[in-house]
Amino acid sequence: MKISNAGMNPVNPYTKNQQKIEETAKAAVRQDKLEISAEAKELQLSVNSPERAERIQSLKAQIEAGTYKPDAEKIANGLFDFYKK
């Protein structure tokens, strides 16, 4: 009796495994990309301004001395405006 491979696809399990490895390697080549908007750059510059640093030092000194008295009404209005949006 003769057995032929006619009509049958030869199966090579190593080929599929090699394809998976190649796909994983291609996916690993991708790199993340980050773009910072102009508004964010301006905000970063304003955060590091000397005026802001001076204000922060002044507030820290007031807090340490126990003389800092926040305006409760101003805080409440700010919270109300924030959540009103």
Residue range 10-62, pLDDT digits in tens? 666 677 778 788 887 776 666 778 899 999 988 888 777 888 889 999 999 99
- Residue 13 is assigned to a structural domain of this protein: no
Q: Domain range holding 54?
A: 38-84
Residue 4, SS3?
coil
Q: Is residue 54 part of a domain?
A: yes
Q: Look at the chain and report how many structural domains it folds into.
A: 1
- The answer to whether 26 and 32 have CB atoms below 8 angstroms apart is no
Structure tokens at 40: 């964010």
Report yes or no on 69 lying in a domain: yes
pTM to 2 decimals?
Answer: 0.42
- C-alpha to C-alpha distance for 50 and 67, rounded to whole angstroms: 23
**Domain presence at residue 60:** yes
Q: Residue-wise over 27-42: b if at least 16 C-beta within 10 A, else e?
A: eeeeeeeeeeeeeeee
